[in-house]
C-alpha cells in the first residue's frame, strides 16, 4: 500500500460551529491552535453542542490573528471578536459535560449575537488558559495533560477508508437514501488517506509529519453524526449503521482520539506513520 497521508485539517474555533480547513496548523498540547477555544453556553452556564442545539451547525467561526474569531450565520451580521481579557471581565465557571471549567465572558455584544442566533438566552465564553483549565480524563492521560473545549481529547483523526466502508454498509441498510455521508458529520481535526478500513481502531502510537501522538481511545459517536452540517436537519445515519456494525466497548465508534507527545506543525500532505 502507498504511505498514508494527511489529506485535510479542520479547526473549529467555536465548539459545535462550522470551522475552517487550513493547509497547516500548529499542534499545541491541548489541540490545534485556535481549535475550540470558544464555546456557547446556556443561561445556566452549561456548554451547548449540536446535541442540544443542532442549529449551531449553521453558525460559522473563522479564526482571526491573535486568537480572535469572526462569527457568521444565515441572516445575521458578522461579528468580530478579540480574545477577552480575564482581568477586565473576570471569569465564570461553565459546565462541560460533568466538568467545571473556568472561562472568560466574551461580552455583551457576543452574548446578544449568540442569543439571537439560537433564539434563547445564551453566552459566549473563551478558554484563556488551556494549559491549566481542563485536564484530560486521567484514565487515558499523563499527569498535566489538558484539552480545550473539545469533547475529550486534543486531536480527532478519521480515515477515508473507514468512511468508504461505512458508506457501503449504509447503502445496504434500511436508510440507504441518507448515504453516502460526508466526512464533516464526524467533525474531525485530521483526515488520513491510504489506510485499511478501521485500521485506526488499533493504533497505539502514530506520527503525522513532525508530530508524534499517542492514540488513546476510539471515538464513541453520538447524535451529532446524524446532523446535516449544512441544514442542521437530523436523520438516522450513520449512528444506526455504526450501532449495528461497528461497536467497540459497547459503543458505536468512528475515528481515533490522539494526544500529542510534543508540539509541531501539521501540514496537509504530511506522511502518516503508524509506530505501534
Is residue 274 pLDDT above 90, yes or no? yes
What pLDDT sits at residue 16? 98
Is residue 1 pLDDT above 80, yes or no? no
Beta-strand runs (E) in 43-118 = 60-64, 68-73, 76-81, 92-96, 99-105
Question: How is residue 268 written as a grid cell?
Answer: 496537509
Is residue 151 pLDDT above 90, yes or no? yes
What is d(CA 98, CA 267) in angstroms, rounded to the nearest whole number? 34
Kindly state the DSSP code that residue 182 receives in the 8-state scheme: P
Bridge partners of 93, per DSSP, are 102
**For residue 88, what pLDDT band results from cuts at 50, 70 and 90?**
confident
Is residue 4 pLDDT above 90, yes or no? yes
Q: Which long-range contacts (CB under 8 A, 24 or more apart) does 116-121 make?
A: 116/76, 117/55, 117/59, 117/73, 117/76, 118/40, 118/48, 118/53, 118/55, 118/56, 119/55, 120/42, 120/43, 121/42, 121/43
What pLDDT sits at residue 171? 98
What pLDDT sits at residue 2? 79
What is d(CA 130, CA 145) in angstroms, rounded to the nearest whole number? 10
Q: How confident is the model over 133-159, as a mean pLDDT?
A: 97
Model confidence pLDDT, tens digit, residues 10-28: 999 999 999 999 999 999 9
What pLDDT sits at residue 141? 97
Pairing of strands 251-260, 155-159: antiparallel
Model confidence pLDDT, tens digit, residues 197-238: 999 999 999 999 999 999 999 999 999 999 999 999 999 999
Identify whether the C-beta of residue 129 lies closer than 8 Å to the C-beta of residue 85: no
Identify whether the C-beta of residue 105 lies closer than 8 Å to the C-beta of residue 86: no
Helix (DSSP H) and strand (DSSP E) numbers for the chain: 4, 18
Q: Max alpha carbon distance in the chain (Å)? A: 57
Is residue 65 pLDDT above 80, yes or no? yes
Amino acid at each position: 500500500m502507498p504511505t498514508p497521508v494527511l489529506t485535510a485539517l479542520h479547526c473549529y474555533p467555536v465548539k459545535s460551529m462550522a470551522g475552517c480547513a487550513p493547509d497547516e496548523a500548529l499542534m499545541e498540547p491541548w489541540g490545534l491552535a485556535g481549535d475550540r477555544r470558544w464555546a456557547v453556553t446556556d443561561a445556566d452556564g452549561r456548554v451547548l453542542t449540536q446535541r442540544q442545539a443542532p442549529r449551531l451547525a449553521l453558525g460559522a467561526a473563522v479564526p482571526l490573528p491573535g486568537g480572535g474569531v469572526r462569527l457568521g450565520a444565515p441572516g445575521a451580521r458578522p461579528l468580530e471578536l478579540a480574545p477577552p481579557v480575564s482581568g477586565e471581565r473576570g471569569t465564570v465557571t461553565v459546565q462541560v459535560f460533568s466538568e467545571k471549567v473556568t472561562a472568560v465572558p466574551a461580552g455583551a455584544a457576543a452574548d446578544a449575537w449568540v442569543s439571537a442566533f439560537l433564539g434563547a438566552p445564551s453566552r459566549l465564553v473563551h478558554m484563556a488558559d488551556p494549559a491549566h483549565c481542563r485536564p484530560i480524563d486521567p484514565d487515558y492521560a499523563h499527569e498535566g495533560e489538558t484539552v480545550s473545549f473539545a469533547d475529550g481529547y486534543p486531536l480527532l483523526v478519521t480515515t477515508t477508508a473507514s468512511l468508504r466502508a461505512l458508506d457501503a454498509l449504509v447503502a445496504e441498510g434500511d436508510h440507504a437514501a441518507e448515504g453516502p455521508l460526508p466526512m464533516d458529520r464526524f467533525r474531525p481535526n485530521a483526515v488520513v488517506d491510504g489506510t485499511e478500513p478501521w485500521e485506526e481502531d488499533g493504533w497505539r502510537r502514530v506520527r503525522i509529519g513532525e508530530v508524534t501522538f499517542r492514540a488513546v481511545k476510539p471515538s464513541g459517536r453520538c447524535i451529532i453524526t446524524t446532523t446535516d452540517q449544512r441544514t442542521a436537519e437530523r436523520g438516522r445515519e450513520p449512528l444506526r449503521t455504526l450501532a449495528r456494525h461497528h461497536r467497540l466497548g459497547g459503543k458505536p465508534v468512528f475515528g481515533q482520539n490522539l494526544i500529542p507527545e510534543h508540539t509541531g506543525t501539521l501540514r496537509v500532505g504530511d506522511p502518516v506513520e503508524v509506530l505501534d
